[in-house]
Amino acid sequence: MLDPAEFPRRMEELRKLYPQGDPDLVGEIVRAVLTTMRGDLSANEASLMAEIEELARTVANARAEIAAIGADEITESHIPSATDELDAIVAHTATATDSILECCEAIDTVTARLTPEDAQTMQGVVTRIYEACSFQDITGQRITKIVGTLKTIEAKMAHIMEVFQPSAGAPGATPKPVERREASVDDPASLLNGPQLAAAAMDQSDIDALLASFD
């Protein structure tokens, strides 16, 4: 009789031999074997068989659930479409901002013809518009971060689908854990976080105080 400890290795060999093998079929075979041989199996062996049957059922359920949520559609249509839309937002806001800046520059050129008092008022207004236009840089960076997150989700979904293909189960099919990098000056990319949300960000006075602490 097969040593239970050998069972995972034998299952692996079978998966390699029959990559198109269906876990449901394995479950059925196990059930049949249990039905006909239960009397000849020890308690440990019967328990192992039950575990394998449960595993087969779990894999089959996971595949059914992935099929039900339309994972293919998410990776092939929804996410690419969302990233395209976000890229379009960046392009449109850039165009609009450039138009606003062009108008400000035109106002700047005529400001010199105004009385000193009016010129000062007008310059103050134009300065505020310039400041406000920097939103395009910040929103662009935030949207780029979102696009990056969506692409990560897309890659993870594709990997999960790959793992649950009928030929799955080969060694190395387990998803790699997300690699977390500590921020370090030796690894400049690790320091790039992009704009912080207001609640998590340092404002200019915090930064001034931090810089002053070096003096």
Partner 1 sequence: MAIDKSMNVLIVDDYKTMLRIIRNLLKQIDFNNVEEASDGAEALGKLRTGNFGLVISDWNMAPMTGLELLQEVRQDTRLKSLPFIMITAESKTENVVAAKQAGVSNYIVKPFNAETLKEKIEKVLAHA
Q: Which residues bind partner 1 (CB under 8 A)?
A: 94, 97-98, 101, 104-105, 108, 123, 126-127, 130-131, 133-138, 140-141, 183, 185, 188, 191-196, 201-204, 207, 210-211, 214
How far, rounded to the nearest angstrom, does the alpha carbon of residue 128 sit from its chain's CA centroid? 37
Q: How far is the CB of 187 from partner 1 (least distance, A)?
A: 11
Closest separation between CB of residue 207 and partner 1, Å?
A: 5
For residue 175, the tally of other CB atoms under 10 A from its CB is 10
Distant-in-sequence contacts of 53-61, Cβ < 8 A, 24+ apart = 53/27, 55/23, 56/23, 56/24, 56/26, 56/27, 56/30, 57/27, 59/23, 59/164, 60/23, 60/24, 60/27
Q: How far is the CB of 84 from partner 1 (least distance, A)?
A: 20
Least distance from C-beta 126 to partner 1, angstroms? 8
3-state secondary structure of 150: helix
